Structure 1
Amino acid sequence: METEYDVVVVGGGAAGLSGALALSRARRSVLVVDGGAPRNAPAAHAHNYLGREGTPPLELLAIGRGEVAGYGGEFTEGEATSATPVEGGFEVRLADGRSVRGRRLLVTTGLVDELPDVPGVRELWGSAVLHCPYCHGWEVRDQAIGVLATSPMSVHQALMWRQWSEDVTLFLHAQAEPTDEEWEQLAARGVSVVVGTVAAVESDGDRLTGVRLASGQVVPRDALVVAPTFTARSALLESLGLPVEPLEVMGHVVGSAVPSTPVGSTDVPGVWVAGNVTDLMAQVIGAAAAGLKAGAGLNGDLIAEDTRRAVAARRATTARLVFSPASERELCDQVLGDRRHGI
């Protein structure tokens, strides 16, 4: 690796690779630091990515890494734990003791899905236990779908998933009963409601078979929808003094994120973010678009700095060529003397 890069990208998911691609094509020196734990690794396929619909997530990332490398971008495996401002940029420290430097940082560390503490949920996460209908709804269409109520938004979830199947059951679990208006909505859409605490999710290997209640009753289901808490992977950004703020949807806190401008710049000059670390709801294609936008913004920021440096260097050179008044008089006397002598 080089000793210093124009941009160090922390995170090698869709946002990070897209930003690295834009920067590498802009002839910037780029290093991508990747811990190798993409959020969507448990999923079999990535969806709604135009031109790459249904591509396995790890295959999509491998394609992206090849494209970045093709324009000179570099990679190193490791977990970036913190960053410190230094002269000319930032120093990023890795868990194994190494450090790298960049004039700018693009942080695309994503988020962690904090799952409900119900036995069986984690084991089937990303295959039969789901949360996003746009990511997985088509794959479980017309199947028996359960919705585990773990937040005040669970009724909204059940009504959404009803678009993909006529057989949807809402398990109230530990949540309060729906309001009168919500009961009417559920009934109108044909969503069944089961009252009682869910004890576990049952499966046959990697296939979900049912939802077991604390009473011992098992309700057969083919898929279960949960509502994770979306927690930004923000340790590196917090080490730079950037805050993490709660994110509300429909009046309910669903997770935390690091705020940024629409192009990805943060309150710390030189530090940019993209993807789920700042936009919890971004799907793969949205994260990639945000990475491109941040990459272009970063390059523009670097161009402005390069221009300031060039102007300062030009002024310094020009200043050395300017004569003092005494020198100008001496030169004039010399020129006049030369003319008098016909030189």
Structure 2
Amino acid sequence: MDTTTNAPGEPQVEDVWDSVIIGGSAAGLSAGLVLARARFATLVLDSKAPRNGPAAHMHGYLTRDGMAPRDFIAAGQEELSGYGASIVQATVAEAERATDGTFVLRLADGGTVRGRALLVATGLTDELPDIPGLAERWASVVHHCPHCHGYEVSGRKIVVIGSAMGASSAHLAALMRRHSTSVTLCVNGAELEETERQRLTAYGVNVIDAHVERVSAQAQAQAPASEGEPSVIVELDTGKSLRCEAIFVAPRPAPHDAILTTLGAQTDPASALVTVDTSGATSVDGLWAAGNVVNPRAQVVTAAGAGSAAGIAMSSWLLERELSGAVTELGGEGR
């Protein structure tokens, strides 16, 4: 880094960091750990809005199964800070490439940050069907990932609500059937081929051709189906309703990739996602992306692995430029 005068938590406009990471969750922190341990001046800009923030626990991460997301991030930040990296709460409003090749980031608070290499790990937003009462119960009784939350609702009454992600809705219903003998799929306008309907029915999933009008709380006068667990009512347009203890839905992923596309990163025509190679490198030299912003299906452990791979690639990229710069300073002769 060109200067070392920045106060903790306050990046200065004149700073040129070796690496800047936008996003301080699993992918961003893992990349930062690699870079900081390689002794590259590293800054993490974190808006403190992780995708799994509302969840009480995360699962599927070996040795961290059941850990609260906030505790996971706090532990990661502590480890990263121990290697000299800086973590700042900030939101990036604009990004551009300067003529000297550095990335210039303008923050929402008016500040400016510059970096030689940039990793975007900004995640995504889960867009739920527009059903009253659904969003209010997100991450409590409403879930989207059977691998993250399926085991915890084993044996309970489960309703899967169809969404615009039709194929995912059917797959979700089938996976939940492995955890419960009481799984109902409310098609809710989702595309469901007859062959898939037959497969689900044969597998024990109750398929209902109805739209969901509302999700509401279980009436106080009725005891919940399982002690200690909230029960909810799924109200259908047929006038009927279903009581359940857990709802699963396949939301539409909306990646926070504006920074990537603004900087010119190519997207895949089929998925509309920004394309990256196995290290997370985009089509723009010096620009990487990792985690849910380019892989909506990535769990915490997957995002962490992608961040680590990106950090290693960024270290090599930075090192190559330092080696070339050292030769240039010697007049172009490798002596």
Give SS of 2:330's match. helix
Question: For 2:321, which of 285, 295, 305 is the aligned residue?
Answer: 305
Question: For 1:200, which of 191, 195, 214 is the aligned residue?
Answer: 214
User: Displacement, 1:297?
Assistant: 0.3
5 Å-filtered alignment, 1:1-343, equals: 1=11, 3-86=15-98, 87-150=100-163, 151-153=165-167, 154-176=169-191, 178-179=193-194, 181-204=195-218, 207-245=230-268, 256-315=272-331
Aligned length: 311
- Mapped to 1, the partners of 2:216 and 2:334 lie a distance apart of 78
C-alpha spacing 1:177/1:317, structure 2 compared with 1 (3 Å): closer
- Mapped to 2, the partners of 1:318 and 1:22 lie a distance apart of 29
Partner of 1:334: none
Give SS of 1:310's match. helix
CA contact (8 A) 1:172 1:193 kept: yes
Partner of 2:3: none
Amino acid in the other structure paired with 1:310: A
CA contact (8 A) 1:82 1:235 kept: no
Q: State the TM-score, normalizing by the size of structure 2.
A: 0.88
User: Displacement, 1:36?
Assistant: 0.7
C-alpha spacing 1:208/1:119, structure 2 compared with 1 (3 Å): farther
Amino acid in the other structure paired with 2:152: E
User: Displacement, 1:88?
Assistant: 4.2
- List per-residue Cα deviations over 1:127-184 (Å, max 9, x = no partner): 21111110000111111111111232122221111111111001011235540x2233
- Mapped to 2, the partners of 1:100 and 1:214 lie a distance apart of 52
Give SS of 2:331's match. helix
CA contact (8 A) 2:142 2:249 kept: yes
C-alpha spacing 1:56/1:246, structure 2 compared with 1 (3 Å): farther
User: Displacement, 1:260?
Assistant: 0.6
Amino acid in the other structure paired with 1:130: H
C-alpha spacing 1:207/1:318, structure 2 compared with 1 (3 Å): closer
User: Displacement, 1:70?
Assistant: 0.3
C-alpha spacing 1:245/1:229, structure 2 compared with 1 (3 Å): farther
Give SS of 2:275's match. coil
Amino acid in the other structure paired with 1:231: A
What are structure 2's unaligned runs of at least 5 residues?
Answer: 1-10, 221-228
Q: What is the identity percentage for the equivalent residue pairs of Structure 1 and Structure 2?
A: 41
- Mapped to 2, the partners of 1:219 and 1:132 lie a distance apart of 21
Q: Which structure: larger Rg? A: 1
- Mapped to 1, the partners of 2:239 and 2:334 lie a distance apart of 86
- List per-residue Cα deviations over 1:294-334 (Å, max 9, x = no partner): 00000000110000011111235899xxxxxxxxxxxxxxx
- Mapped to 2, the partners of 1:169 and 1:195 lie a distance apart of 11
- Mapped to 1, the partners of 2:302 and 2:35 lie a distance apart of 18
CA RMSD of aligned residues (A): 1.9
Give SS of 1:225's match. strand
- Bigger Cα displacement from structure 2, 56-65 vs 273-282: 273-282
C-alpha spacing 1:247/1:65, structure 2 compared with 1 (3 Å): farther
Give SS of 1:173's match. coil
C-alpha spacing 1:313/1:182, structure 2 compared with 1 (3 Å): same
**Higher share in helix:** 1
Give SS of 1:200's match. strand
- Mapped to 1, the partners of 2:329 and 2:38 lie a distance apart of 23
- List per-residue Cα deviations over 1:202-226 (Å, max 9, x = no partner): 1259934221012331111111111
What are structure 1's unaligned runs of at least 5 residues?
Answer: 249-255, 320-343
- Mapped to 1, the partners of 2:191 and 2:334 lie a distance apart of 75
Amino acid in the other structure paired with 1:276: N
CA contact (8 A) 2:55 2:140 kept: yes
C-alpha spacing 1:192/1:305, structure 2 compared with 1 (3 Å): same
